[in-house]
Amino acid sequence: MADWVIRLIEQTGYVGVFLLMFLETVFPPIPSEVIMPIAGLAAARGQMALWGVILSGTAGAMFGNFFWYLLARVIGIGRFRPFIERHGRWLTLDWYDVEKAEHLFGRFGGIVVGAGRMLPTIRSVVSIPAGLLRMRLKSFLLWSSLGTAAWSSALAIAGFVLGQQFGEIEKVVGPLSIAVIIGIVAAYVWRQMTWRRRHRDD
């Protein structure tokens, strides 16, 4: 995968970084952990400016983030209520949980989204609950931009500094990604074991 990413960035520069990061957000199998370090390496070689790499990568990811937010907001969480009430046992989710999450996003949505943008796996999907739960657009854009810029900057700078050894980044990010996935699975298993349907007055 890295070879064609390198070629695309070499041939298209900032536009390639923008498009790759947009696709990475919409279609997660293209990892930012490959795209941004390679772009940072290109900046180290003088093919692009580091600040341009960071801006184009952040902008591309934000277009993808906004796409998922807008789509989820148009759909709305209300359309899923019959499905949640029918299959809540396997989702480990009931409408009481949805109302709590809606309240959480109303108070702390910015922090949740901003932090989520800097976590592998989570960063690609956090737009969906933000949109479904109708997080304020201004807050979503602000916190998403901050988190996305921080993530993109860290990866690009790492590629810039490490040069040809950008594969070393995967040795750090890879285990972190696995840890996040294990945490999600463990949380699901725990909720399955302890789940019961609740109501507002519980």
In this structure, are residues 103 and 42 in contact, taking their beta carbons and an 8 Å threshold? no
Phi-psi sector, 196: left (phi>0), alpha (psi -120 to 50), beta: beta
| Residue 113 belongs to a domain | yes
pLDDT at 69: 94
Domain containing 75 equals 1-166
Residue 201 pLDDT grade (very low, low, confident, very high; cuts 50, 70, 90): very low
| Residue 65 belongs to a domain | yes
- 3-class SS of residue 37: helix
The span from the CA of 198 to the CA of 171, in Å, is 42
Is residue 197 scored above 70 in pLDDT?
A: no
Q: pTM to 2 decimals?
A: 0.75
Q: What are the φ and ψ backbone dihedral angles of 73, each rounded to 5 degrees?
A: -70, -40
pLDDT at 140: 92
| Residue 180 belongs to a domain | no
The span from the CA of 131 to the CA of 68, in Å, is 7
Average pLDDT over residues 20-27: 88
Closest CA to 32 of 169, 180, 183, 144: 169
| Residue 185 belongs to a domain | no
The span from the CA of 197 to the CA of 28, in Å, is 33
- Percentage of the chain modeled with pLDDT above 70: 72
The residue that leads in pLDDT, 8 or 58, is 58
- 3-class SS of residue 194: helix
The span from the CA of 37 to the CA of 43, in Å, is 10
The residue that leads in pLDDT, 78 or 176, is 78
| Residue 186 belongs to a domain | no
| Residue 155 belongs to a domain | yes
pLDDT at 14: 95
pLDDT at 202: 46
pLDDT at 188: 63
- 3-class SS of residue 2: helix
Number of structural domains, the chain? 1
- 3-class SS of residue 197: coil
Q: What is the mean pLDDT of the chain?
A: 80
> CB under 8 Å to 116, separation ≥6 — which residues?
122, 123, 126, 147
The structure tokens listed for 63 are 């277009």
| Residue 172 belongs to a domain | no
pLDDT at 195: 61
| Residue 47 belongs to a domain | yes
Residues 79-132 have pLDDT tens digits of 777 777 776 666 666 666 677 777 777 777 888 898 888 877 777 788 888 888
pLDDT at 49: 94
**What does the DSSP assignment read for 120-186?**
TTHHHHTHHHHHHTT--HHHHHHHHHHHHHHHHHHHHHHHHHHGGGTHHHHHHHHHHHHHHHHHHHH
Residues 140-175 have pLDDT tens digits of 999 999 999 999 999 999 888 876 555 555 665 556
